[in-house]
Amino acid sequence: MTLFALSGVSYNVPGRQLIDGLDLELEPGVVTALVGRNGSGKSTLLRLLAGQAYPSAGSIAYHGRALTDWRRQELARDLAYLPQVTPPAEGMQLGELVALGRYPWRGALGRLRSEDRQAIASAVARCGVSHLTERLVDTLSGGERQRGWIAMMLAQGAGTLLLDEPISALDVAHQVEVLGLVHDMCRETGLSAVIVLHDVNMAARYCDRVVALGGGKLLLNGPISHLMTPDALMQVYGLPMTVALQDGDVFALPRNQRICKETP
């Protein structure tokens, strides 16, 4: 069974078509990178998969059922979405943030039960933030905050994680930390993840498959190795790139690009 199946999906806003007649299948149990140039429709597609927006045309199925047939609470228990800009968490401790993941199971006023506390403890331990649960979210580093948000998604009990540019504001060390965490969780527990990424080399290192968009249309859907060729990178990014192998890792670099320095 596929994770997501899209048939003829389009999404329009006044004066513009963001997704154009997309036919697409995503596999379960893997980390899929969603890549493309700015404005290609990546974040829009992720919102459609999350049920945060509805197609102007076409249909989306999740685990073989039309996304519109899932009740909101039922979907929230199985599917977790992390937007590029996370909601403010002023005055909130990390443990309180993670506990919000149990909302689909207990409601707004429901008290935490033993199974809720167990899910929270398991999530913070898995994400390596057990020692930070009493810290205010605003006082944490970017990497610590992102691991906290991912812990909230895990506490939710979701089998599928949708993350929109989760490393965009992080330094390289924290990028590796966050993507390594997601990759290892999916590999070890069978979770599925779809991640919007701009860094093609991070995608190549931590993702199993890739979906590339251009102008709201599908350019590529396959193993991550299919992206890491000069022809594919030119098609997706419109930029000549060299692909190299070093110590078992494949990476891409822009080719023949001069760096111009301004003169006073």
Instruction: Look at residue 263 and tell me if it is in a domain.
Output: no
pTM attached to this predicted model: 0.91
Instruction: Look at residue 262 and tell me if it is in a domain.
Output: no
Instruction: Look at residue 143 and tell me if it is in a domain.
Output: yes
Instruction: Look at residue 191 and tell me if it is in a domain.
Output: yes
Q: What is the pLDDT along the chain (264 residues), one digit of tens a residue?
A: 799 999 999 999 998 999 999 999 999 999 999 999 999 999 999 999 999 999 999 999 999 999 999 999 899 999 999 999 888 888 999 999 999 999 888 765 667 888 999 999 999 999 999 999 999 999 999 899 999 999 999 999 999 999 999 998 899 999 999 999 999 999 999 999 999 999 999 999 999 999 999 999 999 999 999 999 999 999 999 999 999 988 888 889 888 655 434 333
Instruction: Look at residue 97 and tell me if it is in a domain.
Output: yes
Instruction: Of 119, 118, 99, give the one whose Cα is nearest residue 108.
Output: 99
163 has which bridge partners? 82, 195
Say how many domains are in the chain.
1
- CATH number of the domain that residue 136 is part of: 3.40.50.300
**Kind plus residue range of the DSSP H or E element containing 48:** helix 42-49
**Separation of alpha carbons 219 and 232, rounded Å:** 9
Mapped onto helix, strand or coil, the DSSP state of residue 77 is helix
Residue 122: which domain range? 4-254
Joined together, the tokens standing for residue 149 give 């948000």
